[in-house]
Structure 1
Amino acid sequence: MEGKAKAPEDLVERALTGLRRAQKRRALARLSERRGERTGPYAALPDAVFELLDAVEAACIAPTVTEAAGELAVDQPRASRLAAQALDAGLLRREADQRDGRRSLLVLTDDGADVLAAVRSFRRRIIAEATAGWPSRDRDTLARLLTRFAQDYAQVTALK
């Protein structure tokens, strides 16, 4: 089969698989450690705490621990441990749900927002570094098409 052109779906699937493997290997976290980016009071926190911060910020409504567990695809006890670490570090705070006083919502603190901004800044620098040799037109096309693909993929794979 050498020399046979691959369908676009094949190429995208392989690229996504490679990215997913890199995420599972915590490639960005390891790179940030090697480059000395991971310092300060939050350096010892597990990467999953930063994923929790991402999930809390991305939620339309502040999530409960159980809702965050679903978003992170972890069980509720794991999400509780991550939330406890983030709460202890001052990155999240609990807030009573105004609609249901029995529920406790997770909300980013100012420190949590700052840490998340630093993590995202690092990610953007790595993306810029990876595409530094690309023409700006190609970078713009990637951004436009990847965003569109992610939105369409989310719609197709959404639980209905």
Structure 2
Amino acid sequence: MSGDDAVAAIERAMVAIRRSQTRRALKRLVTPSETAVDPTTFGVLDAVEAREDAATVGDIAQALDIDQPRASRLVARAVADGLLRREADQHDARRVLLRLTPSARSALDAAHRSRRAAFARTTADWDAGELAEFARLLTKFVEDHGRGTTTPDAGVAQRT
């Protein structure tokens, strides 16, 4: 397979993954008791969790690639739902940190279990080497893609 063909195959696979990660598709992965959290709010909780359980509205806006007012509305909903709590930053009282509540932690833990179970079912026939190699390459792809998308055409190399 040529470099261009490989890149085209990756692009098709990523589009298929994106489609499979719609709210409707993700909702099928969880049990009814786990669906109490609005799917939109899960993005906010994931963003806070990724920042080691403390984030600002700006961090969330950046993580979700949305504007600050939208992030503020999503955060307000998560706070009202008891999933996030606001606290003053001990190093800069002008900053407000958002932290996960125990309810949010429970919801995230349930979501992780459901996602991992779905991934385990998908890869059940893979041997340990294939699974480790896929994990290594997918992680590398995500890290490199994150760096490569910060500026247009960043990291794009000519492929032959």
**Cα distance in 2 for residues equivalent to 1:76 and 1:46:** 20
| Unaligned runs of at least 5 residues, structure 2 | 155-160
Q: Which residue of 2 aligns with 1:107?
A: 99
* Structure 2: distance between partners of 1:73 and 1:22: 20
The AA in structure 2 aligned to 1:137 is G
> How far apart are the structure 2 equivalents of 1:94 and 1:25?
27
1-structure distance, mates of 2:134, 2:54: 31
> How does the TM-score come out when normalised to structure 1?
0.81
Q: Contact 2:23/2:39 (CA < 8 Å) preserved in 1?
A: no
One-letter identity of the residue aligned with 1:114? S
Which residue type is aligned with residue 130 of structure 2? D
Higher relative contact order (CA 8 A, sep 6+): 2
Alignment size in residue pairs: 151
Q: Could you say what the CA RMSD is over the residues aligned between the two structures, in angstroms?
A: 2.4
Percent identity over paired residues: 44
**Gaps in structure 1 of 5+ consecutive residues:** none
> For the Cα contact (< 8 Å) 2:56–2:97, is it kept in 1?
yes
Alignment pair present for 1:80 and 2:72: yes
Partner residue in 2 for 1:140: 132
Instruction: Summarize deviations over 1:74-132 as a string: whole Å, max 9, x none.
Output: 23332222212221222211010223212211111222122111111110000001111
22, 25, 48: which is aligned to 1:24? 22
Kept in 2, the 8 Å contact 1:45–1:85? The answer is: no
Runs of 4+ in 1 over 3 A off after TM superposition: none
Q: Which residue of 1 aligns with 2:60?
A: 68
What is the distance in 2 between the residues matched to 1:124 and 1:45? 18
Give the alignment's TM-score, normalised by structure 2.
0.81
Q: Distance in 2 between matches of 1:127 and 1:139?
A: 11
Whether 2:32 is the aligned partner of 1:38: answer: yes
